[in-house]
Chains A and B, each alone.
Chain A
Amino acid sequence: MRKLFAILLALAMLLSMTSFAIAEEPITVTVFRGDPGDQPTDDNKIYKMIEEEFGIKFEIEFLAGDLDETLGTKIAGEDYPDLFDGGNSAEKLINAGALIDLLPYISEEKTPNLYNHIKDLLPQLVNEDGELFIIPNYGINYNAQIQMACNGPAFFIQKQVLAWDNYPTIKTLDQYFDLIERFIAANPTNKDGVPYTGFAILCEDWRHFCLINPVQHLMGRPNDGEVVINVNSGNWETEVFITKDYAKPYYKKLNEEFKKGLISRDTFVMNYDQYIAALSSGTILGMFDQTWDFGSATAALETAGMYENTFCALPLVYDEHYGYGVIEEQYLNGAVPNKDRGFGISVNCEYPERMINLFENLLSDRWQKILQWGIEGEDYYVENGRMLMTQEQYNNRNDASWKMRNTAATIWESSPKKQGTQDDGNAWAPADQSENYFNLMSDYDKAFLSAYGYLKPADFFNAPCELAPYGEAWQIDKTPIQLDYNDFNAIQDKWLPIIIMSADDAEFEANWAAFQAEIAPCATVYEEYMQEEVLKLVEQATK
């Protein structure tokens, strides 16, 4: 009897071992991405390699319509794909309990790559219960952070304006507008007779950060959204800046420029397409924006050979006479882990361990090179230890139909990845590789930079500061106070254009007062909420 039992046990063990083998059988993993994208072709070379090595095929669903709507239906039906990227609304998935906690699967022994990837940031990444549902898809740097240019917020000015004034150093708001005024006075129109517009403000929908965000930067802070946080006092006082005295001078300045005709009222009704068209035509001299927001306009100007009309990013602050002392600019921030963005593993996934194993392996140096650079000899070449690309290889990377056949962009974009510098000094991202960067730069830009004695556009800025323990405050989830937050935004959208268009000082004061009265209640709610959240995050990060 005992013998029989032993045999049975042995059989059971054998079975369980075979079932372990079965787990390594080819599987098809369903994937959802909260972004639109192109389906890879069936003969895609990178996906083929993944299939051969891990036995995993992907069935990918992209987002074509509204993200919140789509996630709402999936949550209601509990129709979760295995790998679930909720895009910018991933909080919804976490709150709905759609994802599993990843930490139990991650350990130094079993998954060293993942473990090392997140160990320093762990206190910031986990939630209050110490769970981690999504490993950030971007923002975790290895070795040195590479900052070639300002990719984020700044005041922008056409390079020809700086060149016209013999490459002055522009540090303050007043210097900036003074230069634009003088330029327009000397050159009212471009060579085709189209009048220049001094300053544009994009106000459309979520892109209204061009209208409402500048004040914090003028006060010398990096991008925290709508709040300024006192990082030095130790108390992390968080204040909504639009209701503070130091917000007023900026809009007063804009009002003056409006009265001088530098700002057109049309700017307040422009949609994004018209804004890009206006920038691309080269008649807008300046604006506050974020570099990535008008990349297509830059491309249009460069394609048309209008390099002098492309924009230079400037880190402006208030002048001393505004009464806030000498302000040191701090536009560039340390790399921000893209918290809660990327793939999570859903509760419906039958093989979470294999998914973790996949992430672990894809995070190895070998796979990171394959995912980011491609195959050596085909997609890039190595010369003296430097990874380089020919013009054609570089162009391929931007060709949609080539990418469908030759990259695993979808999986790569949502998975944990290495950024910054490789151990051998090469950059992880091809575009961060300095040779590639300088090869792509136009002669005009090279001459422009050398006129300032700079090597790269980022030299206009102070070096990135260390990232605050709360990250960047704009990332904080506003869902619990969403309705107040909507109002907070809507009231600014409504009043700030009216304020800027005020006919005279009396009207400006009246409008400002009315604006302050209307926004006060929701601003208070928002401020209190943000203060609490910031403190929570700081406490977690310093635990």
Chain B
Amino acid sequence: MIGAANKNVQLHPKRKMGFFKTLGRQYQLALMSVPMLLYVFLFNYFPMWGWLVSFEKFKPKQGALNSKWVGLENFEWLFGRADFINAIRNTLAMSVINLIFGTLSSILLAVLLNEVRSRFFKRTVQTVTYLPHFLSMVIVVGMAQNMFSADGTINNLLISAGIISPENKIFWLGEKTLFWPLVGVINIWKEVGWNSIIYISTMTSIDPTLYEAASIDGAGRFRRILHVTLPGIKSTFVVLLIMNIGHLMEAGFEIQYLMENALVKEYSQTIDVFSLRYGISSGEYGIATASGMFKSIVAIFLLFGANFIAKKLDEDTLI
């Protein structure tokens, strides 16, 4: 206690002058990190002059510096459109569904795998479940569309199970309210194995003696999972969660684009799909950039918000 107090007393007055001195002492850390800082400034921050375009009626011929300045017109146009507002709603809804169920399912898979004793079985399951990650979305969506079509596997299963009658087949692909859950299911199907890899590898860092201790203490399997496994992956979980909250404005692009049809468009069009249609494909770079910039700004707010909450809860933080 006294030592800590002393430190405070010593450090505080020195702080302003001591920054460079401390940095000098930490030159090895600086050598390890400052080059990468310069790297991201060059590759990630320097190109951000491109955001200028979102305030312009951009013409490729004139370039970003000479195009007509229109102020907030592009943003006004975007927010004046009901389908852009819908696109924001759809993006958030689908990414929240994806975040919650995607994370839960991959943690669940990791936990279940962690309980498997046979190494052969464990490896097999892991290899097989991550394979769909390598299929292109076109293939996966094509398959899903066949399964969910009127005479597809799913309806036939439901009919033979007596849940629905043959006259009232569910119109999975044309019912707009079913679009979000459908996308969620397909995403989980494709990515659950891949997403669980990171949790599985984190679980290897859990000290095995903790399990033994828990066993001695008389803890059953579920208590061991609850008190050893899950706390062991908590910091990874929290950090990934914060990062993903920042990514809530990205709900993917391909799957919605491929699954879309006119009947469900109101619920399927995401910000990215919208900005492709009304921005890039229409040659309206100003609008495309404005919508990208809007996304980035919201993302940064979400990120800092999530980080702040994590800090308040005394959890690991990202920053």
Contact = CB atoms under 8 A, between A and B. Distances in A.
B277 A486 contact: yes
Contacts, number: 75
Contacts of B185: none
Contacts of A266: 149-150, 173-174
A446 to B, nearest CB: 36
Question: B83, B146, B264, B281: which has the most chain A beta carbons within 10 Å?
Answer: B281
A142 interface: no
B72 interface: no
Nearest to B62: A96
A21 interface: no
B263 A268 contact: yes
Contact of B283 (A203, A268, A479, A490): A479
B150 A264 contact: yes
A208 B174 CA distance: 16
A491 to B, nearest CB: 10
B220 interface: no
A486 B60 contact: no
Contact of A497 (B150, B262, B282, B283): B262
Interface in B149-183: 149-150, 171, 173-174
A490 B145 CA distance: 22
Contacts of A496: 262
B263 A95 contact: no
A494 B61 CA distance: 35
B284 interface: yes
A96 B261 CA distance: 34
Nearest to A89: B283
Interface residues of A, number: 32
Contacts of B263: 268-269, 494, 497-498
Contacts of B142: 271, 273-274
A69 B278 CA distance: 13
A264 B151 CA distance: 12
A475 interface: no
B63 interface: yes
B282 A483 contact: yes
Interface residues of B, number: 27
Given A269-B173, A482-B282, A96 B258 contact: no
B146 A274 contact: yes
Contact of A69 (B258, B266, B280): B280
Contacts of B295: none
A483 B284 contact: yes
B285 interface: yes
A72 B283 CA distance: 8
A75 interface: yes
A268 B280 contact: no
Nearest to B285: A72
Interface in B32-88: 60-61, 63, 83
B280 A486 contact: no
Given A264-B150, A271-B145, A96 B284 contact: no
B133 interface: no
Contact of B149 (A75, A203, A274): A274
A76 B284 contact: no
B282 A486 contact: yes
Interface string B130-157: 0000000000001001100110000000
Contacts of A483: 278, 282, 284
A302 interface: no
Nearest to A74: B60
B283 A92 contact: yes
Interface in A22-36: none
Given A75-B60, A264-B150, A493 B281 contact: no
Interface string A7-47: 00000000000000000000000000000000000000000
A72 B279 CA distance: 12
A493 B258 contact: no
B261 A203 contact: yes
Contacts of A76: 60, 63
Given A274-B145, A482-B284, A486-B282, A75 B61 contact: yes
B224 interface: no
A128 B264 CA distance: 42
B278 A95 contact: no
A414 B63 CA distance: 29
A69 B285 CA distance: 10
B265 A72 contact: no
Given A72-B285, A483-B284, A269 B61 contact: no
Interface string B260-294: 01111110000000000110111111000000000
Nearest to A66: B280
Contacts of A208: 262
A68 interface: yes
Q: Which 9 A-B pairs have the closest CB atoms?
A: A493-B262, A482-B282, A269-B173, A75-B60, A269-B261, A96-B61, A269-B174, A266-B150, A494-B262
15 contacts: A72-B280, A92-B60, A96-B60, A265-B171, A266-B174, A269-B145, A269-B174, A274-B146, A479-B282, A482-B283, A483-B282, A493-B262, A494-B262, A494-B265, A494-B266
Given A97-B61, A274-B149, 20 more contacts: A66-B280, A72-B280, A76-B63, A95-B61, A264-B150, A265-B150, A266-B149, A266-B174, A268-B261, A269-B145, A270-B261, A271-B145, A273-B142, A274-B142, A486-B278, A490-B83, A494-B263, A496-B262, A497-B263, A498-B263
Interface of A: 66, 68-69, 72, 75-76, 92, 95-97, 203-204, 208, 264-266, 268-271, 273-274, 479, 482-483, 486, 490, 493-494, 496-498
